[in-house]
Structure 1
Amino acid sequence: MSERVDLWNNGNLVQDIFLGEIKVPVKVLRNDSFQAWYLLQPRENGNKSSKTDDLGSLRLNICYTEDCVLPSEYYTSLRNLLLKSADVQPISASAAYILSEVCRDKYDAVLPLVRLLLHHHKLVPFVAAVAELDLKDTQEANTIFRGNTLATRCVDEMMKIVGKHYLKVTLKPVIDEICESPKPCEIDPIKLREGDNVEINMENLRYYVDKVFREIVRSSISCPTLMCDVFYSLRHLAAKRFPNDPHVQYSAVSSFVFLRFFAVAVVSPHTFHLRPHHPDAQTSRTLTLISKAIQTLGSWGSLTKTKLSSFKETFMCEFFKTFQEETFTESVKKFLDDVSSTESKEPSGVSEPVHLKEGEMYKRAQGRTRIGKKNFKKRWFCLTSREFTYHKQQDKEPIFTIPIKNILAVEKLDESSFNKKNMFQVLHGEKPLYIQANNCVEASEWIEALCRVTRCNQKRLSFYHPSAFLNGNWLCCKATIESSEGCARCTADVPADTQIEIDGDRETERIYSLFTINRSKLQKLEEACGSIAVYQGPRKEPDDYSNFTIEDSVATFHTLQQIIDIVEKLNESHEKYQKKRSSSAKYGSEENPIVGKVS
């Protein structure tokens, strides 16, 4: 097994130039210290290769961070302190916010923090709290969420984690077409080659932009629930901050979903696993032009004459004159409504219910208390954007209808409930609807389809019973009250391949390490809080803590004391655990590995 390292020259922003690549065997990276020179090789992705001796050489200096993750109980105090951050007033006095303040690079803090909060379903309220703090410092609506703050970075990281499948189903087919069958799209007169026809190139570019734009505005039904929840919070916070601007509720969402999500994925498809390699120079240029167009089309009101006159490139201004149609603005508005609403929406531009899926399955009679084959009846099921129904036969009137907005959860059902495989349940306020699909693939498809169309329902359940209520109790938890809260957390709120494996203890250990590394900054911040509390007069000269956000010195000081105390206890736990492991494990084993080179 080997790792491939590509070398690119990105001196001209996104116009990267491929210089060469090397392959390094993974086994050599296991050494404590590894340094070596490698000759750069031609790319192995089907492109015409250049001569090896023209590619130069590359020296690698590889380092890695090793975290010693303790058993889960050691992290209880730190984990609880971080998870309650969204409830701390003000948010700048919370442990999560303080982490971002003391880290030199906010990204170091954002990655483990977002993963931890995401794992424990605490991300949405935290993002809302830090976004509200951002908005306090935002003076103009047209600059909303444009900086690299803790809020914007958290949303960026969240979209990268949970939006992979969304990008795949929305953009991958059209990105593949652009990369595999490229058409010339250069419209900058300075960059045109001899023989290029700018009119044809403009038509090609317009074709690609139309196709990408159309796929995006039709994709709201595939947008992950978590992204919708975050966009909903941002939309309403923005409207509250700028009540006299009717468009800010849209620009607050478009600044993320268009500018920081779709446009970035278009220009760097390899980064989001939409393509296996970095595109060649010509294709990269085409993707850059498409990305610019998508950013502009996605910006609320961007097709006005005032906006067009602000383009730096004259050729882009001329290109966008062909887009001045109300349909583009209305499509963006409808799409943003769909992905930032708390109610189930139909796909953009649709007034009639959209037929999504139908097929024959078995339904268990509701209300039956005994197990028996006679309780299962073959029925024809139909799912539209408005309702889920079943019929005795195809094309017959439905005998039972569940409005989409009333569906609270869709989950698999334990096989032990009725001794039958491939079962799932639809929870909708009345008794659960138990359904048996014909096979496991069909069951997964129905669950995914139902989850997608109900992803924005406001009253979605957080917990459910994985088994049925039979003979006076729930088979899963033995609770005797049929209306009791579920005993398992809902899992099927997103398609299966968007779910990620997160080790909460590992992320907490990483955060502990960051606090340990930045112990001196924690102490400076603690001293700053003390100084503010003692001296309340005007500060004439910049202080050592002028870069810190301290809204409430007393609350911040209290949190800092908790952090420092927890870090000290974890330091002691690490030392004790390492000593215990070293003394009880055989030297050279996985638990007590040899440190240093063997002579």
Structure 2
Amino acid sequence: MAKRSSLFIRIVEGKNLPAKDITGSSDPYCIVKIDNEAIIRTATVWKTLFPFWGEEYEVHLPPTFHCVSFYVLDEDALSRDDVIGKVCITQSLLAEHPKGYNGWLNLTEIDPDEEVQGEIHLQIEIVDSGAVRKLRCTVFDARDLARKDRNGASDPFVRVRYNGKTQETLVIKKSCYPRWNETFEFDLDESAVEKLCVIEVWDWDLVSRNDFLGKVVFNVQGLQAVQQEEGWFMLRPDKSKPRRDEGNLGSLHLQLQLRDETVLPSIHYQPLVQLLCQEVKAGAQDGKVHLITLIDDTTTAECRQEVAVNLVKLFMGQGLAKEFLDLLFKLELDKTDEPNTLFRSNSLASKSMESFLKVAGMQYLHKVLGPTINRVFEEKRCVELDPSKVESKDIGCSSLHRIQSESDVIQQSAQHLRSYLGDLLGTISKSAKACPAIIRATFQLLFKRVGEQFPEEKDQNVKFIAITSFLCLRFFSPAIMSPKLFHLQEKHADARTSRTLLLLAKAVQNVGNMDAGVSRTKEPWMAPLQPTIQQGVAQMKRFLLQLIDIEEKEELDPQKSPSLQTQVVKEGPLFIYKARSKGPLLSSSFKKLYFFLTSEALTCAKTPSCKKSSFITPASIRAAEKVEEKSFGNSHVMQIIYANEAGQTDTAYLQCKCVNELNQWLSALRKVCVNNAGMLCSYHPGVFRGDKWSCCHQKDKGGLGCDKTRHGVTLREWNDPLDPDLEAQLIFRHLLGVREAMREKYLELSTLEKNENLHLTQNEDPENADGPSRLFQVLQDLEEIHSKELSRLSDLANQDRNHLVELQT
């Protein structure tokens, strides 16, 4: 059994931000930190005080995290980025909104005394020393302290205060991972008014005042009951100062939802998974209420996307994704009489197919759309077909001898769009074999089902449109319009590029609609593209026929397809650092290579098309963590600690181009080795240079690390390795929430005879009941198991919490 937490984050927009540039505007972006570790950087929105980001993330993290912070900064090309303000949200505040928080939050100024981070390792105890009882405090070490100096470190020391007396440790120079191992004693005064022991960490400065790094406060009276306490304690900020600028720094619109899942061992989910699989294998049967129909009818629009993703992943894990989608196709077709409305609603069938394409086809999407999207971003052409949107600034001098008219702008725009569309359709037409076989097989079933439902000559296009309604309208077009959200680009498109992408997406939609007359009626200004669209329709039909021309033997092995074993989890260019004999690691000692990560190996090559050489096997990885910036003088460096062929511990240092790429690589590496034995609990965030570690100054190269590893922090991606137990738990949680609605719907859809058998008695055999009735019993059993486990965990947590409350104020 494991407890897992996930945080959904949507950074919507900002408003009323202060101007940081001389132009009276700003170039804002957001940095998101979990417990002071940066995990997300949004794109920069240029020249605005009212930025819109609309970026969504889901972060998997350990249940012990404390807070999530949003920093808004102004990007500067020539100087250091200006910090505008921040929003900090604690775990307890998120827990108060189980259905999620959605609203505006004011940015506050950055107070150095509140920007604390890290933990300190202490032992505090009450000892008898002859006739006098003493309070003894041993300061061992600290980790991940805030960096206050320009060299990327601090010079920390500890100050211990009790009953008006103060003692201090030595100063450890240039380290955020100091080790003191010093002990202090104070006479215990039972009559003292102040019954607190305060341990403060400071950064020593020669010229200016010392910087506050955080503190821990102990209640000595509570300590007398336990006599001794040892452990790592989170450093706390000083008391908050009154905010004079509340609301003056603008505000952020955020959507957040924290979910804690208690995932049971696999055996407990088997009845639920087996029941769902049996229902899918049995298919739709006349006269019976199908369990999938019941789930579809009782799932609200707000959570249908999430339920669809969970169901798709669960059935992929069971090798039944194609069968599940085929069942949804049939159920949808059974209630559709008008072909023009087929799969146009946000039904479970539509959402499941959309999710399936993202889970199984994101690499295919990148391969097909990547070249054209890159070209549009590089060329940044002015493209506009709608006369009402052609601005006066677009009309002007195209050369030294000719004035460009409105018609010239439209004519050139049509030419550019025809070129983009032609390139894109050409790439698509050649991509049938590159499309994953499981997707091709699913489209083959869809084509067949729709053809059987609408066999008339006048409906011959319907089976093609059924496929393109997913492939073009719900997969290609959204990615073209928002390439940043599909990781096709690192930055949002500017206004000009955005308009080009929108028009290109519209053209792809028209091709996907087989150029239905309604599109020409709604937007007659798209007429200049009609010849290319008509040609594209014919091209698309030929491509679809190739796409579905797949034999049974070509399909993926059902035991391999769910986990997508052979697919690349992550790929891209990275810089690999090379050690120069016995000397230090230098910034120039690196080489650019192209890396590929699968569940079987991390490989590299000089270019994407060159022969790959094996580098590290995921099974040998012991940790994947960040490296301190000061270690190499470069940002965004990660380390992979692994066991080499000789069984010895080795480390590879790889540099990424930005914080998002760094976190995506760390996330991918952590996921492929999530089940590895021997994962490290600690690591060194620095490098071993000369005769000591740069982070903590230890001289034992093979000794324990000075910081804790962060295996539990990952970003959710569509191509994540499947987690069957988690998916089963998420489906169970949803079904439990709609259980009563399902009962009511079941009564409504069932005949009188079936209604009488709805509630199982002890004498009835559950195996003879229908799917919905068996589901209610399975949910009841799982609910009872969960209640027992949650009660046990709650008792343990309360014991620990009460113990700490007695010690800390």
Q: Is 1:68 matched up with 2:278? A: no
CA separation of 1:533 and 1:321: change in aligned 2, threshold 3 A = same
Corresponding residue number in structure 1 for 2:386? 188
CA separation of 1:67 and 1:341: change in aligned 2, threshold 3 A = same
CA distances 1:301-358 after superposition (whole Å, capped 9, x unpaired): x27xx566x4312211x22234265x433311111011122249xxxxxxxxxxxxxx
- In structure 1, give the amino acid aligned to 2:532: F
Q: CA deviation at 1:169?
A: 1.2
Q: CA deviation at 1:531?
A: 6.8
Within the candidate set 3, 7, 12, 1:7 is matched to 12
Q: CA deviation at 1:263?
A: 1.4
CA separation of 1:584 and 1:233: change in aligned 2, threshold 3 A = same
- In structure 2, give the amino acid aligned to 1:339: L
Q: Is 1:223 matched up with 2:435? A: yes
Where in structure 2 are the equivalents of 1:201-240 lying within 5 Å? 201-240=413-452
CA separation of 1:535 and 1:103: change in aligned 2, threshold 3 A = closer
Where in structure 2 are the equivalents of 1:54-133 lying within 5 Å? 56-58=250-252, 60=254, 62-90=256-284, 93-104=289-300, 105-133=303-331
Q: What secondary structure sits across from 2:770 in the alignment? A: helix
CA separation of 1:96 and 1:188: change in aligned 2, threshold 3 A = same
- In structure 1, give the amino acid aligned to 2:745: L
> RMSD over aligned Cα, in angstroms?
4.6
Corresponding residue number in structure 2 for 1:276? 490
Corresponding residue number in structure 1 for 2:734? 514
CA separation of 1:254 and 1:582: change in aligned 2, threshold 3 A = closer
- Are the equivalent residues in 1 in contact too, given 2:377–2:497 (CA < 8 A)? yes
CA distances 1:426-477 after superposition (whole Å, capped 9, x unpaired): xxxxxxxxxxxxx9879x99999xxxxxxxxxxxxxxxxxxxxxxxxxxxxx
- In structure 2, give the amino acid aligned to 1:205: L
The whole-number CA distance in structure 2 between the counterparts of 1:62 and 1:595 is 28
Where in structure 2 are the equivalents of 1:142-153 lying within 5 Å? 142-153=340-351
The whole-number CA distance in structure 2 between the counterparts of 1:262 and 1:512 is 32
Q: Is 1:154 matched up with 2:352? A: yes
Where in structure 2 are the equivalents of 1:327-366 lying within 5 Å? 327-343=535-551
- Aligned residue pairs total 428
Larger helix fraction of residues: 1
- Are the equivalent residues in 2 in contact too, given 1:35–1:59 (CA < 8 A)? no
- Are the equivalent residues in 1 in contact too, given 2:312–2:352 (CA < 8 A)? yes
Q: What secondary structure sits across from 2:506 in the alignment? A: helix
Where in structure 2 are the equivalents of 1:280-319 lying within 5 Å? 280-300=494-514, 302=515, 306=517, 310-316=520-526, 318-319=527-528
Where in structure 2 are the equivalents of 1:39-58 lying within 5 Å? 40-42=72-74, 56-58=250-252
CA distances 1:169-220 after superposition (whole Å, capped 9, x unpaired): 1111221221233111112111112243222222222221222222222211
- In structure 2, give the amino acid aligned to 1:569: D
CA distances 1:467-492 after superposition (whole Å, capped 9, x unpaired): xxxxxxxxxxxxxxxxxxxxxxxxxx
- In structure 2, give the amino acid aligned to 1:109: V
The whole-number CA distance in structure 1 between the counterparts of 2:482 and 2:277 is 33
Corresponding residue number in structure 1 for 2:530? 321
- Are the equivalent residues in 2 in contact too, given 1:35–1:62 (CA < 8 A)? no
Deviates more, 1:519-528 or 1:235-244: 519-528
CA separation of 1:132 and 1:60: change in aligned 2, threshold 3 A = closer
Within the candidate set 17, 24, 30, 2:32 is matched to 24
Q: What secondary structure sits across from 1:63 in the alignment? A: strand
The whole-number CA distance in structure 2 between the counterparts of 1:201 and 1:231 is 34
The whole-number CA distance in structure 1 between the counterparts of 2:321 and 2:366 is 23
CA separation of 1:528 and 1:321: change in aligned 2, threshold 3 A = closer
Q: CA deviation at 1:62?
A: 3.2
Q: What secondary structure sits across from 1:67 in the alignment? A: strand
Q: Structure 1 stretches of 5 or more lacking a match?
A: 11-17, 345-403, 412-438, 449-496, 537-553
Output the TM-score relative to the length of structure 2.
Answer: 0.46
- Are the equivalent residues in 2 in contact too, given 1:5–1:23 (CA < 8 A)? no
- Are the equivalent residues in 2 in contact too, given 1:40–1:55 (CA < 8 A)? no
Q: What secondary structure sits across from 2:455 in the alignment? A: coil
- In structure 1, give the amino acid aligned to 2:528: F
Q: CA deviation at 1:50?
A: 11
- Are the equivalent residues in 2 in contact too, given 1:100–1:109 (CA < 8 A)? no
Q: CA deviation at 1:39?
A: 7.4
The whole-number CA distance in structure 2 between the counterparts of 1:569 and 1:93 is 22
Q: Is 1:251 matched up with 2:251? A: no
Q: CA deviation at 1:241?
A: 0.5
Corresponding residue number in structure 2 for 1:170? 368
Q: CA deviation at 1:151?
A: 1.1
- Are the equivalent residues in 2 in contact too, given 1:124–1:230 (CA < 8 A)? yes
The whole-number CA distance in structure 1 between the counterparts of 2:728 and 2:327 is 21
Q: CA deviation at 1:256?
A: 1.4
The whole-number CA distance in structure 2 between the counterparts of 1:166 and 1:218 is 12
- In structure 1, give the amino acid aligned to 2:33: P
- In structure 2, give the amino acid aligned to 1:515: L
The whole-number CA distance in structure 1 between the counterparts of 2:748 and 2:558 is 48
Q: Is 1:567 matched up with 2:763? A: no
CA separation of 1:76 and 1:598: change in aligned 2, threshold 3 A = farther
Larger strand fraction of residues: 2
Q: What secondary structure sits across from 2:387 in the alignment? A: coil
- Are the equivalent residues in 1 in contact too, given 2:437–2:556 (CA < 8 A)? no
CA separation of 1:45 and 1:147: change in aligned 2, threshold 3 A = farther
Where in structure 2 are the equivalents of 1:343-422 lying within 5 Å? 343=551
- In structure 2, give the amino acid aligned to 1:62: L
- Are the equivalent residues in 2 in contact too, given 1:410–1:447 (CA < 8 A)? no
Q: What secondary structure sits across from 2:30 in the alignment? A: strand
The whole-number CA distance in structure 2 between the counterparts of 1:570 and 1:51 is 49
- In structure 1, give the amino acid aligned to 2:333: L
Q: What secondary structure sits across from 1:66 in the alignment? A: strand
The whole-number CA distance in structure 2 between the counterparts of 1:331 and 1:209 is 12
Q: What secondary structure sits across from 2:354 in the alignment? A: helix
Q: CA deviation at 1:578?
A: 3.6
Q: CA deviation at 1:523?
A: 3.0
CA separation of 1:321 and 1:535: change in aligned 2, threshold 3 A = same
- In structure 1, give the amino acid aligned to 2:477: A
The whole-number CA distance in structure 1 between the counterparts of 2:330 and 2:806 is 50
Output the TM-score relative to the length of structure 1.
Answer: 0.61
Where in structure 2 are the equivalents of 1:370-519 lying within 5 Å? 500-519=720-739
- Are the equivalent residues in 2 in contact too, given 1:182–1:283 (CA < 8 A)? yes
Where in structure 2 are the equivalents of 1:583-594 lying within 5 Å? 588=800
Q: Is 1:198 matched up with 2:410? A: yes
Q: What secondary structure sits across from 1:212 in the alignment? A: helix
CA distances 1:68-94 after superposition (whole Å, capped 9, x unpaired): 001111111011011122134536834
Q: CA deviation at 1:119?
A: 1.2
CA separation of 1:440 and 1:287: change in aligned 2, threshold 3 A = closer
Q: CA deviation at 1:60?
A: 4.3
CA separation of 1:52 and 1:584: change in aligned 2, threshold 3 A = closer
- Are the equivalent residues in 2 in contact too, given 1:5–1:21 (CA < 8 A)? no
- Are the equivalent residues in 2 in contact too, given 1:93–1:555 (CA < 8 A)? no
Between Structure 1 and Structure 2, whose CA radius of gyration is higher?
Answer: 2
- In structure 1, give the amino acid aligned to 2:310: P
The whole-number CA distance in structure 2 between the counterparts of 1:190 and 1:532 is 61
- Are the equivalent residues in 2 in contact too, given 1:85–1:126 (CA < 8 A)? no
- Are the equivalent residues in 2 in contact too, given 1:40–1:56 (CA < 8 A)? no
